[in-house]
Amino acid sequence: MELFQQLLTTPFDFFKDYGGPFLLVLSLLVFVHEFGHYIVARWCGVRVETFSIGFGKELFGRTDRNGTRWKFSLIPLGGYVQMFGDLDPASARSADAVTTEDGEKPRPMTAEERKVAFFSQPVGKRAAIVVAGPAINFLFAILILTGLYAVEGKPFTPPVAAAIIEGSAAQQAGMQPDDKILSMNGEKVTRFQDLTKFVAVNLDREIAVEIARYQGDNQWNEAEPVILNITPTLVVEEDRFGFRHSTGRLGIKSPPADIAMQDHTPVSALRAALTDTWEISANTLTALGQMVMGYRSTDELGGILRIGAYAGEYAQRGLIPMITFAALLSINLGLINLLPIPMLDGGHLMFYALETIKGRPMHEKIQEYALRIGMVFLLGIMVFATWNDLLQLKVVDYVLNLVS
């Protein structure tokens, strides 16, 4: 409700604190994503008609010497690259014809025009152009994180139990204060943050926790580790905005947050960035799978309002947290676009894979129906996610109280 109240009382401050950072980050990531499509299309010899940040009516833009119209459009919630021969920005339909500027009937493409049309390219080139968007989002995030870790270092909290909460799952399993966590289900733990992320996605499933007992003088008996089987307690938390999140809790208190910075060379920073990108992607897919299977509440599925709230919060913390948030959002944007859903890049790649297997494109009617289903599905997800946000921000309660 805090976020909604600020919108009602101080709309200018609301835009400055939340709307501005959200649009800035979103526009940057959309540009990065679409630039991936654009640059690989150019490398493949495809003519790009339009590069748009936003949808709808053009606000301003310019046409470069290659004939590409670069523009900003009215609705700044996405963007697109439209290539020669496409009938829509999603490359969902194409036509082997050209409409003349004088309004005459479309004429067939010439042989030279077909060479630069997207639909006439070999399947390998089309797939490369499509995958370039998500790929550059991952690359962008890796470069950002690498730079941060190399220059600033990486916040580090040792995986040591500063205290054990009374009656918690950890205490019941026999964990003691000052125990050092070595691994969880065989996965090495080097930071307390690793423990937190692992437990958060495993919810209330039993975990084999390998620990080393404290021997004093900042020494642990790692030569004789102890294995404890701990089932985290499933809890639903609510952040300051009112958004709910399911997570697992062992009942272990961490040492003071980020008590040290782990220095990195450029090479080790790159390695850490690659590891973090992989873990964020894997954890996101795990959480989505848990929602599908019913292990995790779909209340956690958030939309534009939730992203905007977090963008503003990170921006208020400072430049470094804001950059980190941009990297996290870039990873998720790349990952979601790779899902095999028609209308997304992953859906196009699925069609190209089937085309490669069959030796010919899928029938146009099948593709058309699949794209319609994909559009309905994505719109449904967007509406559902936005409804979640409105409920958890207490906007729906506010409106109902006004009319009741």
- For residue 261 the two structure tokens come to 């910075």
Of 80, 84, 111, nearest in space to 345 by CA: 80
Distances (CA, A) of 158 to 88, 189, 239, 331, 385: 52, 9, 25, 26, 36
Cβ(334)–Cβ(138) below 8 Å: yes
- The region that residue 226 occupies, defined by phi over 0 for left and psi between -120 and 50 for alpha, beta otherwise, is beta
Task: Give the whole-angstrom CA distance, residue 275 versus residue 260.
Answer: 20
Task: Give the whole-angstrom CA distance, residue 22 versus residue 33.
Answer: 16
- Please identify every residue annotated as catalytic: 34
Count Cα atoms within 13 angstroms, Cβ side, for 384.
Answer: 11
Computed over its alpha carbons, how large is the radius of gyration of the chain?
25
- Cα-flanking dihedrals φ and ψ of residue 13, to 5°? -65, -35
DSSP state letters, 224-267: S-EEEEE-PEEEEEE-TTS-EEEEEE--EEPSSTT-EEE---HH
E strand map for 4-118: 48-63, 69-83, 97-98, 107-108
